[in-house]
C-alpha cells in the first residue's frame, strides 16, 4: 500500500513541534523552582503537597503558580500534538503506528506524559514532578527524531498482524506508566534523603515524600498487570510468527528480568523493612531494566526483534 506522503510530513511536523513545546513546558516548570531563592522564602503550612505557603510568601506563590499553570497548559498542548503525530503517521501508512523504534519511543513517551496528566488531575500536588518527567521525555523524543528516525513505510511481514495492536500497545502503555512511576520513586529517594538547606530550597519544593511514594506504588500496581499481559500477548504472537512461544531471545530475556524486578518491588512494598527506601530503589532498577531493553537490546544485540531497530 503506498504511503501518503502529505500525512507523513504533517506527522513529522507535529512531532517536532511537540518536542519544542515539551521543552518549553520543562523550562517553565524549572522556572517554577527558580522563583524560590531560599527555603526561608517558602514556608510550608501543614504536611500537604509542598505547594501551600505562609501568607508572607503569597506574592511568590502567585508567581510560581503562574509558571506552573503555564507549564501544565503547554504540556497538554504538546501531548495533543504528540498524539496527532502518531495518528497521522498511522493514517499515512494505514497501519498501527508503532512498527519501528522511532514510532515505539514516541508512543512510550506519549503514554508517560498522559500518565502524569492523569495523576495530576487527581493530585495537583504532583505538578512539580513535571520538569523531571519531561526531561527523559524530551531526551527520548530527541533521540527518536534524530538517531532513531525512520521514514513512514510498510513493515516487515512479522509485524503485519493484529497482535501488533495488542502486544505493542500494551507494552507501550505499561512502559510509559512505569516511566512515570520510576521518576516518582527517584524523586522520593531525593526528597527523603535531601538536605533542603544545602539544596537552596530545591528539595523542599518537591511534593511530600509519602505522596511521591504513593503515586509510584499506585501507578505500578496498574502498570504491572498490563506489562504481564503484554509479555503473554508477545508470547502468543511469537508462536504465530516464529512457531514458538518463548525462545530466550535477548529482548524476551530482559523483559522477563524487568518483570521479576517489578514483581519484587510489589512484594517489597508489603514487606516490613522494605516498604519505602529499599522498595523505591527496586522500582528505579525496574525502570533502568525497561529502558535498557528498549534501547540497548534493540539497537546493539542481534535477535528476532532486530527488525524493530533503526529504519
Three cell numbers, residue 129: 514532578
CB atoms within 10 A of CB 155: 18
Domain ranges of the chain: 5-308
- Helix ranges (DSSP H) in the chain: 5-34, 58-93, 101-122, 130-145, 163, 169-193, 202-205, 209-242, 250-268, 277-292, 298-300
Side-chain half-sphere exposure of 225, counting CA atoms within 13 A: 4
**Measured distance CA(16)–CA(23) in Å, rounded:** 11
The pLDDT, as a whole number, for residue 195 is: 53
pLDDT of residue 214: 93
Residue 235's pLDDT is 87
Per residue of the chain (311 residues), give pLDDT as tens: 678 999 999 999 999 999 999 999 999 998 887 765 444 444 444 444 444 444 444 555 677 788 889 999 999 999 999 999 999 999 999 888 888 889 989 999 999 999 999 999 999 989 989 999 999 999 999 998 998 888 888 877 666 778 778 888 999 999 999 999 999 999 999 998 865 445 556 777 888 999 999 999 999 999 999 999 999 998 888 887 777 787 778 888 899 999 999 999 999 988 877 777 889 999 999 999 998 988 777 766 655 555 554 43
Alpha-helical (H) ranges within 94-198 are 101-122, 130-145, 163, 169-193
Distance from C-alpha of 156 to C-alpha of 185, rounded to nearest angstrom: 38
Amino acid at each position: 500500500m503506498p504511503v501518503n506522503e502529505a500525512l507523513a510530513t504533517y506527522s513529522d511536523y507535529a512531532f517536532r513541534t511537540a518536542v519544542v513545546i515539551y521543552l518549553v513546558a520543562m523550562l517553565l516548570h524549572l522556572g517554577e523552582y527558580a522563583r524560590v531563592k531560599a527555603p526561608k522564602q517558602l514556608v510550608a503550612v501543614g504536611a500537604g503537597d509542598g505547594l501551600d505557603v505562609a501568607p508572607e510568601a503569597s506574592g511568590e506563590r502567585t508567581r510560581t503558580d503562574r509558571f506552573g499553570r503555564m507549564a501544565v497548559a503547554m504540556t497538554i498542548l504538546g501531548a495533543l500534538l504528540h498524539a496527532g503525530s502518531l495518528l497521522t503517521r498511522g493514517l499515512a501508512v494505514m497501519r498501527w503506528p508503532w512498527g519501528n523504534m522511532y514510532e515505539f519511543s514516541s508512543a512510550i513517551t506519549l503514554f508517560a506524559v498522559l500518565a502524569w496528566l492523569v495523576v495530576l488531575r487527581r493530585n495537583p500536588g504532583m505538578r512539580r514532578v513535571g520538569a523531571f518527567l519531561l526531561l527523559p521525555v524530551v531526551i527520548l523524543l530527541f533521540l527518536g527524531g534524530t538517531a532513531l528516525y525512520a521514514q513512514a513505510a510498510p513493515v516487515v511481514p512479522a509485524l503485519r498482524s493484529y497482535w501488533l495492536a495488542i502486544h505493542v500497545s500494551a507494552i507501550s502503555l505499561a512502559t510509559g506508566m512505569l516511566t512515570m512511576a520510576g521518576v516518582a520513586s527517584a524523586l522520593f529517594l531525593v526528597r527523603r534523603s535531601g538536605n533542603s538547606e544545602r539544596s537552596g530550597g530545591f528539595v523542599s519544593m518537591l511534593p511530600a515524600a509519602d505522596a511521591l511514594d504513593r503515586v509510584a506504588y499506585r501507578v505500578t500496581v496498574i502498570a504491572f498487570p498490563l506489562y504481564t499481559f503484554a509479555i503473554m500477548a508477545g508470547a502468543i504472537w511469537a508462536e504465530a510468527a516464529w512457531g514458538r512461544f518463548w525462545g530466550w531471545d535477548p529482548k524476551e530475556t530482559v523483559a522477563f528480568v524487568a518483570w521479576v524486578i517489578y514483581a519484587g518491588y510489589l512484594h517489597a512494598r508489603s514487606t516490613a523493612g522494605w516498604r519505602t527506601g529499599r522498595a523505591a530503589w527496586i522500582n528505579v532498577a525496574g525502570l533502568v531494566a525497561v529502558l535498557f531493553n528498549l534501547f540497548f537490546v534493540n539497537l546493539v544485540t542481534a535477535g528476532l526483534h532486530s527488525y524493530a531497530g533503526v529504519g
